[in-house]
Structure 1
Amino acid sequence: MTEPLASTTDIPRAELIDLYRTMVLIRKTEEQLVLCVEAGQVPGGCHTYIGQEAVATGISAHLAREDVIFSTHRGHGHALAKGVEPGPLIAELFGKATGVSQGRGGSMHLFAPEVGLLGTSGIVAPSILQATGAGYSFKLLKKPNVAVGYFGDGASNNGAFHEGLNL
């Protein structure tokens, strides 16, 4: 029988549990969303974040409320990790006025500035330049804030990726 691995982290247990809870919240919300999509209850396209929960959870755990994120067509997990409540997120996907974007954004155009989510997009790679611009504005304004641009592997083959790196 093998010995259990020694802990390789200095993260307090309570914080680890909070991170785990966020990942489970994202997974369970997305799983319920899949059921709604399969039942034909969600209008428009819908791309889930299942299997990527740790990315948004880990990044958002280090962001302040005033820090901003820009996301992709798979932005539900980013939104939840940044502080959007599941109810308003799901209401948005159902096209309800109680949604985070008053039912106008749907799955791929979420907007919740009150928690620092400044937009998601169905287009590949705009989040890179949006975050670059926001970060540059923070620098010019001498603000300590952070701007995060989430993107997938397809975005690294896009001009916006290289333009963002150059800035």
Structure 2
Amino acid sequence: MSDFGGDLRELYQEVIFDHNRNPCNFHAMADATNTAEGYNPLCGDQLTVYLRTEDGLIADVSFVGHGCAISTASASLMTEAVKGMPVAQAEALFNDVHAMLTQTKPQGRDFGKLEVLAGVREFPARVKCASLAWHTLHNALVAARETAQTE
């Protein structure tokens, strides 16, 4: 039986819809130090993540693209979460969010607003939508040249 109750499900839907309608940090960044492309071939979600790093910190982060509500909301929440964060900490957060989306919530991690993304586990076909922005962030952090995919 699921531990994702009705109140949490309503919060999940509200946050997803809000971040889809009004995504945070949704713009191209001319002075980005790192960029990465992401693509989900199953549903056609596409995005570009822009990072500007300074002294080991993510000084600024943004994204552009198109996709479903979950994909856009996840990217918006991601940019809010990692802005100002040390690069190494953002990479650790990527790993923990991936685990939360695909397995169970890592113990001892306070996800804050990102906690609502745990609701995606209730819809296995949508996990890849929620994880695309995070895989793209990872590629930007490590300066990978290939397009991030969820397949």
Rg larger for: 1
Q: TM-score, normalised by structure 1?
A: 0.29
Bigger RCO (CA 8 Å, 6+ sep): 2
Q: TM-score, normalised by structure 2?
A: 0.31
